[in-house]
Amino acid sequence: MALAWWRLELAALPELEESLVWKLDVLGIPRVALQHRPEAPDQRQLIAWLPEIDWPADQRQQLEQALAGLADPFGLALPPITWTHQADEDWSLTWKQHWQADPVGARLLILPAWLECPEEHADRLVIAMDPGSAFGTGSHPTTRLCLEAIETMALAGLRVADLGCGSGVLGLGALKLGAASVCAADTDSLAVRATTDNAALNGLSGAVAVRLGSVEALAELLDGQPADLLLCNILAPVIEALCPAFTQVLAAGGVGLLSGLLVDQAPSLQRVLAEEGWQGELTGQQSQWGLMTIKRAVVA
């Protein structure tokens, strides 16, 4: 008997997207895609495929209840979930069809590794990605905010530190835009592998050093020479916990881009950063997500 699948689909609200992907992975559901039209990056659909044999009706109902609980802290209701039966030979091809060439900002193009660059985007800088994990390929608002910000910077010759690198897309974008090198770290071994593999896809393995761990591992990679630019796309509470060590990874005259926060979390994060000698300014916003730029505070 051929294996069949259930296809789960729901609108991925910006506040819930990361939690939904995390929860599905924890529950042993790694076959996940996030779909959006290039002209509407904040209107996203989450799609997951579940083996039919493992997910009878009662289990699917329990899954819906588990996902609904993720919305409670935000005072939201989980969008309706639709279930579609799908034959085995279709699911992997369908999964790939949900990834398309994705222009970001004025100069960058995120391109799934199996696709050719569309002619209309031939003048863009291509970041080839293999979206085979839940780490994303740049479509999340926080990632786009950061890529759009680095696109406006003069990066030639700069050393970049990427804390919480995930797929490596931010560091690779910086290299495509002229940065000299990237040191990256993530606490997830799958992220380290994804960044390594994606660097190879782009022919940039020699410019990327990646290590398993947090800010201490990143400092070791930098070997006593803090970076000119710090990229940090992680959740605000984690940033707050890590910022006392930012002096080890970001030079006194450097710039940091923090892009994993909700806009209403910015005031609290600014206060914590100020206590550590950093001046933070909210410099970008998409939907409810924000981008904060940090520099060393000027002492009067």
Q: What was the pLDDT predicted at 138? A: 63
DSSP E strand stretches across 195-249:
208-212, 227-232
Are 109 and 125 spatial neighbours (Cβ–Cβ below 8 Å)?
yes
Residue 88: both structure tokens together = 């085995």
Pick the CATH number of 135-296 from 3.40.50.150, 3.40.50.10330, 3.30.1360.10, 3.40.720.10: 3.40.50.150
* Structural element, H or E, at residue 191: helix 189-201
Distances (CA, A) of 211 to 45, 228, 258: 32, 19, 20
CATH number at 4-97: 3.30.70.120
Are 257 and 218 spatial neighbours (Cβ–Cβ below 8 Å)?
no
Residue 119's contacts (CB-CB under 8 Å, 6 or more residues apart) are none
Are 42 and 286 spatial neighbours (Cβ–Cβ below 8 Å)?
yes
pLDDT in tens, 193-207: 889 999 999 999 999
Across the chain, mean pLDDT equals 87
Q: How far, in Å, CA of 83 to CA of 9, rounded?
A: 7
| Residues comprising the chain, all counted | 300
pLDDT of 137 strictly over 50: yes
**204 DSSP assignment:** -
Q: What are phi and psi of 254, to 5 degrees?
A: -85, 180
Q: How far, in Å, CA of 3 to CA of 41, rounded?
A: 33
Higher pLDDT pick, 289 / 120: 120
The model carries a pTM of 0.74
Are 162 and 182 spatial neighbours (Cβ–Cβ below 8 Å)?
yes
Q: What was the pLDDT predicted at 1? A: 46
Q: Which residue has the tokens 């100020």?
A: 274
Q: What was the pLDDT predicted at 260? A: 82
Q: How far, in Å, CA of 263 to CA of 139, rounded?
A: 18
Residue 215: both structure tokens together = 């800010």
Q: How far, in Å, CA of 54 to CA of 36, rounded?
A: 28
Query: Taking CA 261 as the corner, what is the angle to CA 18 and CA 98, rounded to the nearest 5 degrees?
Result: 35
Beta carbons within 10 angstroms of residue 211's beta carbon: 17
Distances (CA, A) of 28 to 23, 49, 136, 250: 9, 11, 18, 37
pLDDT in tens, 55-73: 889 889 989 998 998 888 8
Beta carbons within 10 angstroms of residue 124's beta carbon: 20
Helices and strands of the chain, counted as H and E runs: 9, 14
pLDDT in tens, 24-59: 877 778 778 777 766 676 778 888 888 888 888 988
Q: Is 176 exposed, middle or buried (0-12, 13-18, 19+ CB in 10 A)?
A: buried
Residue 107: both structure tokens together = 């100069």
Domain boundaries, the chain: 4-97, 135-296
Give the percent of the chain with pLDDT over 70.
Answer: 89
The CB-based long-range contact list for 90-94 (8 Å cut-off, 24+ gap) reads 91/5, 91/7, 91/31, 91/49, 94/7
